[in-house]
């Protein structure tokens, strides 16, 4: 009887052997995405040609420490999407078991330690019910990206925004262009036309000369217009608003005196009060001849993109945030607002340290959770801390993070279930954003907001919020 082929590899100072049938492929080790609260033997998630893999370190089975610099990846057979990070692959043969210098790797034990099993059926059922309730509510709401030009607030539906960018240092000016035309810039695999939204709307002080280089808070909002994309320069991006449809009103025809006002689709007042926000009609921007000329001048550089109707059916908007060393994405549909860290918090005695207290939000108490402390063990820090007001567990909660990045819109096909068990970080990571290609970049973990709060913590926060509401009345 022929002996089974075995693959010999080195991890740290030791050599191990595995049945060759357990290994599907050998690849180079990609850049890894660390997973918060993961056991030491789970190094992170890696991307190999668009597939997200959980990467384990066999060296940790001896002393709890990962080897310093693994260089190769053994992708295991089966449907679990698991790989081993090793230093080198030595040989393939059938007589390796006779060597005293080679240890048999207890692969199933390593996987069991890396993916601990925990009873999560009850929490999973609660999460499903919560998500169904949240989905029903979201169907009657609209997500808006709120931004400012001077002291005026405007908004665009998030579904019409492709990306939010910082102003680049290099912009190609267009000689003889109109006052609203800034120029063009390189973006992804195309040339992006840039307009000053202030000048396009005819707002006071809308001379864009030198503006892109001097205003550090300025942002470029990339919107889809037919088969083109266009960059709109604004003074600053303020927040994401989740509004019910009832406080949104069409602009009365009697005030539509000029072309600038005709670009405003509706007006609304944010929930809880505040100044009015003008909702723009992005698809009306093409009415300006100079805008059409700008698009035509850059069309030869642009690649074709799907029309809006096709794009919306197969895309999802994500907000990447920094939590310690981790970059994690939240679905924009679950975020009601993004704001600065509250200046005033009411501390509550006898609660976990990650529950910072309660802050007023739109006239109601908002429980604030330091997700950085909760997921990394260190509190949120830095000058760019942001508070995400999200719908989670049937409640609106405030999640404090180290920073919030620009919104990205990705194809739904780029998301795949994260190859992680529910026991790691209580199952809060539902998906991983995969990048196509061998060098497409490390995966980005996507959070399931409903799973961020366990059923026990939901009860604690509900009781806390109720007591604060009674105390405030």
Mean pLDDT, the chain, integer: 75
Q: Of 23-27, 361-365, 406-410, which range is least confident? A: 361-365
Are 21 and 4 within 8 A, CB to CB?
A: yes
Cα first-last separation, the chain: 82
pLDDT of residue 55: 93
Give me 214's structure tokens. 């001097």
pLDDT of 258-299, one tens digit each? 444 456 778 887 766 677 888 887 766 655 454 555 555 544
**CB < 8 Å & 24+ apart, contacts of 213-221:** 213/167, 213/169, 215/167, 218/167, 219/147, 219/164, 219/165, 219/166, 219/167, 219/406, 220/164, 220/165, 220/166, 220/167, 220/185, 220/194, 221/145, 221/147, 221/156, 221/161, 221/164, 221/165, 221/197
Neighbouring-strand partners of residue 172? 184
| Report for 94-103, 366-375, 429-438: range of highest mean pLDDT | 366-375
Q: What global pTM score does this model have? A: 0.67
Are 59 and 66 within 8 A, CB to CB?
A: yes
pLDDT of 172-199, one tens digit each? 876 666 677 788 888 877 788 888 888 8
pLDDT > 80? residue 392? no
pLDDT > 50? residue 241? yes
Report the 3 state secondary structure along 459-472.
HHHHHHHHHHHHHH
pLDDT of residue 403: 92
pLDDT of residue 141: 72
pLDDT of residue 82: 92
31: Cβ–Cβ under 8 A, 6 or more apart, which residues? 46, 47, 441, 442
**DSSP label at residue 452:** S
| DSSP per residue, 378-432 | S---STT-EEEEEEETTEEEEEEESEE---EEEEGGGEEE-S--TTGGGG-EEEE
Assign 151 a pLDDT band (cuts: 50, 70, 90): confident
pLDDT of 80-136, one tens digit each? 889 999 998 888 877 655 556 888 888 888 888 777 654 443 344 344 444 445 544
Of the CA atoms within 13 Å of residue 307, those in its CB half-sphere come to 3
pLDDT of residue 92: 80
Assign 329 a pLDDT band (cuts: 50, 70, 90): very high
pLDDT > 90? residue 207? no
Assign 306 a pLDDT band (cuts: 50, 70, 90): very low
Q: pLDDT exceeding 90 applies to what percent of the chain?
A: 13
């Amino acid at each position: 009887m022929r002996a089974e082929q075995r693959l010999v590899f080195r991890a740290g100072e030791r050599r191990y052997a595995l049945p060759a049938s357990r290994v599907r492929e050998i690849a180079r080790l990609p850049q890894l995405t660390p997973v918060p609260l993961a056991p030491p033997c789970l190094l992170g998630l890696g991307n190999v040609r668009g597939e997200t893999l959980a990467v384990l370190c066999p060296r940790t089975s001896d002393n709890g420490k990962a080897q310093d610099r693994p260089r190769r990846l053994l992708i295991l057979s089966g449907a679990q999407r698991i790989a081993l990070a090793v230093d080198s692959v030595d040989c393939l043969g059938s007589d390796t078991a006779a060597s005293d210098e080679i240890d048999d790797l207890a692969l199933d034990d390593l996987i069991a330690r890396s993916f601990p099993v925990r009873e999560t059926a009850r929490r999973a059922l609660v999460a499903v019910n919560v998500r169904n309730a949240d989905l029903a509510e979201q169907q009657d709401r609209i997500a808006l990206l709120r931004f400012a030009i001077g002291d005026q607030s405007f908004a665009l539906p998030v579904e019409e925004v492709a990306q939010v960018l910082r102003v680049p240092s290099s912009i190609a000016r267009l000689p003889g262009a109109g006052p609203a035309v800034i120029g063009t810039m390189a973006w992804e695999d195309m040339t992006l036309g840039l307009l000053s939204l202030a000048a396009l709307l005819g707002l006071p002080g809308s001379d864009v000369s030198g503006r892109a280089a001097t205003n550090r808070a300025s942002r470029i909002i990339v919107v889809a217009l037919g088969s083109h994309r266009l960059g709109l320069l604004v003074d600053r991006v303020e927040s994401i608003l989740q509004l019910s449809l009832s406080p949104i009103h069409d602009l009365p025809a009697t005030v539509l005196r000029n072309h600038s006002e005709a670009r405003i689709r509706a007006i609304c007042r944010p929930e809880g009060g505040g100044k009015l926000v003008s909702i723009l009609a992005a698809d009306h921007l093409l009415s300006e001849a100079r805008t059409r000329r700008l698009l035509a001048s850059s069309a030869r550089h642009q690649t074709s993109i799907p029309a809006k109707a096709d794009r919306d059916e197969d895309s999802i908007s994500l907000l990447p945030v920094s939590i310690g060393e981790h970059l994690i994405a939240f679905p924009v549909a679950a975020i009601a607002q993004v704001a600065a860290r509250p200046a005033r918090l009411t501390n509550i005695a006898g609660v976990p340290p990650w529950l910072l207290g309660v802050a007023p939000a739109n006239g109601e108490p908002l429980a604030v959770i330091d997700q950085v402390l909760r997921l990394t063990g260190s509190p949120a820090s830095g000058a760019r801390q942001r508070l995400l007001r999200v719908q989670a567990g049937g409640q609106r909660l405030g999640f404090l993070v180290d920073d919030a990045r620009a919104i990205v819109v990705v194809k739904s096909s780029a998301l795949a279930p994260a190859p992680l068990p529910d026991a790691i970080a209580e199952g809060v990571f539902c998906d991983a954003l995969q990048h196509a290609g061998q060098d497409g970049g490390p995966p980005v973990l996507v959070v399931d907001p409903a799973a961020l709060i366990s059923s026990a913590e939901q009860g604690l926060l509900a009781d806390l919020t109720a007591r604060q509401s009674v105390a405030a009345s």
